[in-house]
Structure 1
Amino acid sequence: MDIILVTTVITSLFVVIGLAEPFAARLRLPFSVILAIVGILIGVTATFLLRTDLTDALNPIAAAVLGLPIRSNVFLYVFLPTLLFQATLGMNLRRMLDDWVPILTLAVVAVVVATVSIGYALFWVSALPLAACLLIGAIVSTTDPSAVVSIFRSISAPRRLARIIEGESLLNDAAAIALFGLFMGFVMLGIPDPKLSTALAQFPMLMAGGALVGWLGARIAVWVMALFSRHELAQQSISVALPYLAYIIAEQSIGASGVIAVVAAGLTLNLTAPGRLPPQSLTNLRELWDVLAHWAGALIFILAALLIPRLLEEVQLSDYLLIAVVVVAAIFARAVILFGLMPLLSALRLSPTVERPYRMAILWGGLRGAVTLSLALAVTESTRVPADIQRLVGILATGFTLFTLLVQGTTLRWIIGKLGLDQLSPIDHALSRQVIAVSLQTVREDVARTTENYDLDHNIIRSEAKRFGERLEVAVKAAEDASDILDRDRIALGLIALAGQERETILTRVRERTISARMADLVLSDADRLIEAARTQGRNGYQRAARRSVAYGRTFRAAAVLHGRYGISGPLARMTADRFEHLLSQRLILRDLGSFIDGRIRRIHGRRVAELLHELLSRRIEAVETALEGLRLQYPGYAEELERRFIRRTALRLEEREYATMREDGLIGAEVHTALMQELTTRRMAAEDRPRLDLAVQRGAFIQQFPLFTELKEGTLRRLSRSLVTRYVDAGTYVLRKEVPVRQVFFIASGAVELEAAGHTWRLGRGEMFGQMAILTHKARRADVRAITPTTLLVLDEDRFRRLLGRSPTLRRAVVESAEKRGVDPEDLLPDNLPR
Structure 2
Amino acid sequence: MESVSIVLFLLLAVVVSGALARMVPFSVPTPLVQIALGAIIGLSTEHRVALDPELFLFLFLPPLLFLDGWRIPKDELLKDASTVLELALGLVLLTVVGMGFLIHWMIPAMPLAVAFALAAVVSPTDPIAVSAIAARVPIPRRMMHILEGESLLNDASGLVCLRFAVAAALTGTFSAGAAAVNFLWVAGAGLVIGILVTLATTRLKAWVTRRWGEDTGSQILVSLLIPFGSYLLAEHVHASGILAAVSAGVTMTYAEISRQALAITRMRRNSVWDTIQFTLNGIIFVLLGEQLPAIVSGARQTVALTGHAQPWWLGVYVLAIVAGLAALRFAWVWASLRLTILRGDRRGVGAQSQDWRLVAATSVAGVRGAITLAGVLTLPLAMNDGTPFPARDLAIFLAAGVIVVSLLIGSVLLPVLLKGLAMPPEPVRQAEEQGARIAAAEAAIRAIERHQHALAEDHDEPDLYVETGAQVMNLYRERIEGLSGRPSQQARAEDRLQREFRLIGLRAERAVLGQLLRGRQIGSETARKLTRELDLSEARYLG
Same-fold call, TM cutoff 0.5: yes
Gaps of 5+ in 2: 304-309, 446-477, 495-524, 530-543
1:221 to 198, 201, 205: 201
**Where in structure 2 are the equivalents of 1:77-476 lying within 5 Å?**
77-127=58-108, 128-150=110-132, 155-191=137-173, 194-195=174-175, 198-229=178-209, 230-251=214-235, 253-278=236-261, 280=263, 281-315=265-299, 316=303, 317=310, 318-349=313-344, 355-379=355-379, 381-384=381-384, 386-405=388-407, 407-413=408-414, 416-417=415-416, 419=417, 421-423=418-420
Distance 1:511 1:266 in 2: 31
Q: What amino acid maps onto 2:37 in structure 1? A: V
Letter in 2 for 1:597: P
State the 1:260 CA deviation.
0.6
Question: Would you say the 8 A contact 1:143–1:172 is kept in 2?
Answer: yes
Q: Secondary structure at the match of 1:378?
A: coil
Render the CA deviation track for 1:582-635: whole Å, top value 9, x for unaligned.
xxxxxx99875333425528999xxxxxxxxxxxxxxxxxxxxxxxxxxxxxxx
Give the letter aligned to residue 335 of structure 1: F
Task: Report the Cα distance in structure 1 between the residues aligned to 2:259 and 2:404, rounded to whole angstroms.
Answer: 45
Per-residue deviation, residues 622-654 of structure 1 (Å, max 9, x unmatched): xxxxxxxxxxxxxxxxxxxxxxxxxxxxxxxxx
In proportion to residue count, which structure has more helix?
2
Are the counterparts in 2 of residues 273 and 282 from structure 1 also a CA contact under 8 Å?
no
TM-score normalized by structure 2? 0.72
Residue 313 to residue 598, structure 1, CA distance change in 2 (3 Å): closer
Shift of 1:386: 4.4
Larger RCO of the pair (alpha carbons < 8 Å, separation 6+): 2
Going from structure 1 to structure 2, the CA distance change for 1:172 and 1:589 (only over 3 Å counts) comes to farther
Q: Is the 8 A contact 2:129 2:369 kept in 1?
A: no
Letter in 1 for 2:378: A
Could you say what the CA RMSD is over the residues aligned between the two structures, in angstroms?
A: 3.6
The residue type paired with residue 313 of structure 1 is S
Amino acid at match of 1:208: G
| Partners of 2:8 and 2:78 in 1: CA distance | 45
CA distance in 2: counterparts of 1:593 and 1:336, whole angstroms: 47
CA distance in 2, matches of 1:322, 1:100: 34
Matches within 5 A, 1:500-649: 500=430, 502-503=432-433, 506=436, 514=444, 593-597=483-487, 600=490
Matched-pair contact (CA < 8 Å) for 2:190–2:241? yes
The Cα of 1:330 is off from its aligned counterpart by 1.3
The 5 A counterparts of 1:481-496 are: 496=428
- Distance in 2 separating the partners of 1:125 and 1:196: 24
How is 1:736-815 mapped onto 2 (pairs within 5 angstroms)? none
Q: Deviations over 1:309-368 (max 9, x none)?
A: 223333233434433332222112211211123321332139998643122112112221
Identity across the alignment (%): 24
Amino acid corresponding to residue 339 of structure 1 in structure 2: W
Give per-residue Cα distances to partners, 1:277-320, cap 9 Å, x unaligned: 13513343333212211111111211232112223333233434
Contact 1:140 1:400 in 2 (8 A): yes
| Residue identity in the other structure for 1:224 | L
Partner AA of 1:248 in structure 2:
L
Specify whether residues 511 and 374 from structure 1 end up closer, same or farther in structure 2 by C-alpha distance, changes over 3 A only.
Answer: farther
Per-residue CA distance 1:464-519 (angstroms, 9 max, x = gap): xxxxxxxxxxxxxxxxxxxxxxxxxxxx99x94xx43653774798799959xxxx
Q: 1:93 to 1:283 in 2, by over 3 A?
A: farther
CA contact (8 A) 1:107 1:169 kept: yes
Q: 1:594-743 to 2 correspondence within 5 Å? A: 594-597=484-487, 600=490
Whole-Å separation in 1 of the counterparts to 2:149 and 2:273: 18
- When residues 272 and 602 of structure 1 are mapped into structure 2, their CA distance, relative to the original with a 3 A threshold, is closer
Query: 1:342 is matched by which residue type in structure 2?
Result: L
Deviation at 1:195, TM superposition (A): 4.9
1:37 is the counterpart of 2:36: yes
Instruction: Specify every segment of 5 or more residues in structure 1 that has no aligned partner in the other structure, as ranges.
Output: 51-62, 429-491, 516-587, 605-669, 675-836
One-letter code aligned to 1:218: T
Structure 1 contact 132–183 (Cα < 8 Å) conserved:
yes
Aligned residue pair count? 441
- Conserved 8 A contact 1:111-1:138: yes
Give me the whole-angstrom Cα distance separating, in 2, the residues matched to 1:295 and 1:596: 46
- 3-state SS of the aligned residue for 2:243? helix
SS of the residue corresponding to residue 164 of structure 2 reads helix
Distance, in Å, in 2 between the alignment partners of 1:321 and 1:7 is 35
| Deviation (angstroms), 1:197 | 5.9
Paired with 2:56 and 2:259, the residues of 1 have a C-alpha distance of 32
Compared CA separation, residues 373 and 147, structure 1 to 2 (3 A): closer
Distance of aligned partners of 1:22 and 1:506 in 2 relative to their CA distance in 1, 3 Å threshold: farther
Structure 2 SS opposite 1:379 = coil
Aligned partners of 2:371 and 2:285: how far apart in 1?
9
**Alpha-carbon shift at residue 42 of structure 1 (Å):** 1.8
Alignment CA distance shift 1:330-1:513 (3 Å): farther
